[in-house]
Chains A and B, each alone.
Chain A
Amino acid sequence: MKDEVSIQWIKKAQAGDSRAFRQIVLHYAKIVNALAFRYTDDAHLAEDIAQDTFIKAHQALSRYQNDAKFSTWLLRITTNTSIDYIRKANRQKASSLNCEDRPIEIPVEGEENQLEMQDSLGKAMSYLTDVERLAITMKHHQGYSIAETAAKLKLNDNACKQTIFRAVRKLRQQLKCEVSA
C-alpha cells in the first residue's frame, strides 16, 4: 500500500479546501483505479468507478474520522461503488449477483482447448464471473472476512465461501495452463 496522505491535507480538504482534495486525488488515483479494475476487469468501468469514488469521498469527507486509515476508508468506498456498478450492469443484462445457483464454470485439465486461452496471466481474472471476482478480491486483496464479504455481496456465508474457493480454483487452473503452455 502506498504511503498515507498527510493528515493535514485531509483536514484542509474537510474544511473545504479544493486544492487539498486535489492532492488526495493525485495521491490515491492509481490505487483506486487498480482496485476498481480488479473488481470489474474492465478499464472503462474502472475509470468510471474511480471518478465516482472520489466524488462520493468528497461528499462524505466530513464524516471521515481519523480512527481508520484514510486509504482503508477510501478503498471501502471503491469497493461499495464497484459492487453498485456491477449490480447495475448485471441488472441491465438481466443477470443477478445474488444468483447463488449459477453454473460453475471451472476449467479443468484437458479442456484447455475449449477455453479461449488468453495471452497472459494478466487476464486470468477475466475467467471469473463478476461475483467470483468481487469475492476473491475482497477476501484476498482487501482482507475482508468471509462474513463481511458475504454481507456485502448479499450471499450466505457458505455460498460466499464456495464462491471464493471456486475463484481460487479457476485462477490456479488458469495459472497451470499458462505455465504448461
Chain B
Amino acid sequence: MKINEEQLMMLYFGELGSKESKRLLRSPEVCAALRQLETDMQVIEQQDNNPLPDDYGHQLWDRISGRIDASGQRQKEAGWQRFIQWIAVPQYSFASLMLAALLVLSAYWIGRNEHSDITTNDISGQLLAGNIQMHLTQSEIFLTQASNQDLDRNQLQTMAQRLLVSNRIFKRAAANHEGQHTALLLSNLEQILLEYANGAPSESTTLPAMQDKSNRGHDMLFQVKSMKQQMAKDENII
C-alpha cells in the first residue's frame, strides 16, 4: 500500500483516527516508511545544540533573584495602588466612603460596648467607691460637728441639705452597682440628714428627743467610719 507524505506525517503525529491508523499500519510499506520517519526525527531530536554549563541553574538564579525580589515588592505595591485607584473611581468613591463610615461606626459601637463593660465592672466601681468615701468623710465631719454642737442650727441645716443631695445620688448609684450594704448605710444616713435638713424644731426642744438624736448620730458615725475603712480596704463598693 502506498501512503503519501502528508498521511504519513499525520499518522506519525497521531492525528489520524484509530480506524484509519490501524488500516494503514497493516501495510508493511507504511510501517517501513513510518519507522524511517521516526528514526529521522529521533536523530534530529537528539541533537543538543546549546550546551550549557553544569552550574547554569546557579548562574540563572544569580541573574534573576534581584528581579524576583523586586517583582514581589512591585506586586505588593501594585495591590495597594489598585485599591487606591479603585477608591478614586467616582462610582466607587461614595461606596468607599460609606464603607469607611460603617467601619468607624462599627469600631465605635464595639469600643463603646467594651468600654461600658469594663467601666461597670472595674473602673466605674472604683471611682464610685472613691467618691462615696469622700462623701462619707464629709458626713463623718458633719456628724462629729453635730454631736459636739460646734455649729449653730442654721449651719447644720445648710450642711445637711447639701449632703442630703449627694447622699441620694450615691445611694442610687450604690444600689445600681449592687452595693447593697453601702446603699443601706446611705439610706440610714439619709434619715438623719433629713432630720437636720428639715430642722425638726419640736424634737430639739425636749431632752429625750435630743438624746435620742444624739445616740443615733453616734451610732451612724460608727457605721460611717466602719464603712469607710471597709471600702478603702476593698477599693470598691460593698
Contact = CB atoms under 8 A, between A and B. Distances in A.
Interface of A: 16, 18, 21-22, 25-27, 29-30, 33-34, 37, 41, 43, 46, 50-51, 54-55, 58-59, 120-125, 139-141, 145-146, 161, 164-165, 168-169, 171-172, 175
B1 interface: no
A123 B9 CA distance: 22
Nearest to B41: A140
Contacts of B45: 140-141
B75 interface: yes
B27 to A, nearest CB: 20
Interface in B44-62: 44-45, 47-50, 52, 56-58, 60-61
Q: By DSSP majority rule, is chain A's interface helix, strand, loop, or mixed?
A: helix
B65 A18 contact: yes
Interface in B129-182: none
Contact of B67 (A29, A55, A169, A171): A55
Given A37-B50, A51-B63, A171-B44, A26 B15 contact: no
Contact of A168 (B41, B61, B63, B65): B41
A58 B71 contact: yes
A171 B61 contact: no
B234 interface: no
A124 B44 contact: yes
Nearest to B59: A29
A59 B68 CA distance: 8
B44 to A, nearest CB: 5
Contact of A29 (B48, B49, B57, B68): B57
A14 to B, nearest CB: 13
Given A25-B61, A140-B41, A168-B9, A123 B68 contact: no
27 contacts: A16-B72, A18-B69, A22-B61, A25-B60, A29-B57, A29-B60, A29-B61, A33-B50, A34-B48, A43-B50, A50-B60, A51-B60, A51-B63, A55-B67, A55-B68, A58-B71, A59-B75, A121-B43, A122-B48, A122-B49, A125-B44, A140-B41, A140-B45, A146-B13, A165-B6, A175-B40, A175-B43
B9 A165 contact: yes
Nearest to A40: B50
Interface string B25-50: 00000000000010011011101111
Contacts of B84: none
Nearest to B12: A168
A35 B75 CA distance: 28
Contacts of A164: 9, 13
